[in-house]
Every structure is written in C-alpha cells, then in structure tokens.
Amino acid sequence: MSEESKELHIPGLHILGKVSGYYGVKGWVKIYSYTQPRENIVRYKTLKIKFGNSSKGLSAKKEWQDIQLDSGKAHGKGVVAHFSGYDSREISAALIGAELAAHRSEFKSAAKDEYYWTDLIDLIAINLQGVELGRVSRLIETAANDVLVLNPIKSPAQSDVNALDKSEILIPFVLDHYVKKVDLEAGTIMVDWPVEWNESK
C-alpha cells in the first residue's frame, strides 16, 4: 500500500513531510518524509511549503506557497534535498521546521489493489455480518503489513456514552484475507472481522 501523506486537514492539500535539519554547507537540507518509499517526496518538482515557527524572519509567511525542488535523493535512512534559491546554510535556515505538501491531483495513479493511505482515511469499515465497526482514523506501518486503525462507531443500543468502548480497533490491511473489498466511491471497506474479535481483546 502506498503511504503518500500524513495530515488531511487541508482540503485537496496533503502533507508529505517536513524539513528536519541541515545537510552540508551548500543549502541542502534533510527531510523527514511521510511517503513510502521515503524518496517519493523528491519526485515532485514543485511542492507547497508552509514555514514553521522556527523560520527566521518569516513570521508573515504562514500560508502555503510554491517552492521549487532542484534536486533530492535518498540518503541513509532519510532523504536530502536542495530547493531553488536556498544555496547556503544561512539561507536554508529559513526552511528548518517547514512542512511540505502537494495536491492529491498530483499523485500518481495507484497500481491495482494498492491504495494511498490518504484515500482510506474516513472510510467506514463494515464486516461480513453487515456491522459498521468504525471509521478509519489512521494507518500504522508494521514489519508484517499495514494496519487500519478504526474509531469505533457507537451502537444505537448504547444510550449511555460511558458504555461505549473507546478503544481503537486494529485490523491488518491484508487484501483477500481480512480486507475483502475497498470501495472508495461508496466510502466503505468490507472486512472479515467479527465483532467478537474486538470484544475479546
């Protein structure tokens, strides 16, 4: 599955990572990437940037704006990049802490049976018995597979808010096993996950 963004609070714009530090003395910076693989973030030649609180002299630049990526590559376990006009360590200091984003329309089409994490957020998970288990709030990457994290949906029978099980429901995103069907248009995910499995945790 393709992870291509982290935050989803800006309509149409999806955060892909943030500038986390310096790399060398020629303006290159380190990027903490939320994409998978990590270097996917540097295939966007134009990104949106929102400067962080640590940016020097840029207190007025709190809105998203375009920034041109000159070059970027995987480096060790991370990513390094160089942005147009930021040719020294002193100038690139303004980038530290800044968030980087792109519009969903700029994402490449996902391969068959692959999904961007951003497209799965807020989908309703329904089990084979027709019970709505919860809404996808986020995903977790593990060594074995990705995992859906659901916020449980309160049953109409639970009139007392205190009776609601507030624990999250974790479902391995394994197609054809736990995940039977993803319907992006309907906003649902069909899962083989009986209610008892969650209640027995």
Token pair 């007392």 in the structure block, residue: 160
- Token duo for residue 187: 């906003």
Count H helices and E strands in the chain, helices first: 3, 12
Separation CA 130–CA 192 (nearest Å): 10
pLDDT tens, 178-199? 999 999 999 999 999 998 887 6
Map out the domains of the chain with their CATH numbers. Answer: 13-106 (2.40.30.60), 121-199 (2.30.30.240)
124 backbone dihedrals φ, ψ, rounded to 5°: -90, 125
pLDDT tens, 28-87? 999 999 888 889 999 999 999 999 754 444 444 568 999 999 999 999 888 999 999 999
pLDDT at position 96 is: 95
SS3 13: strand
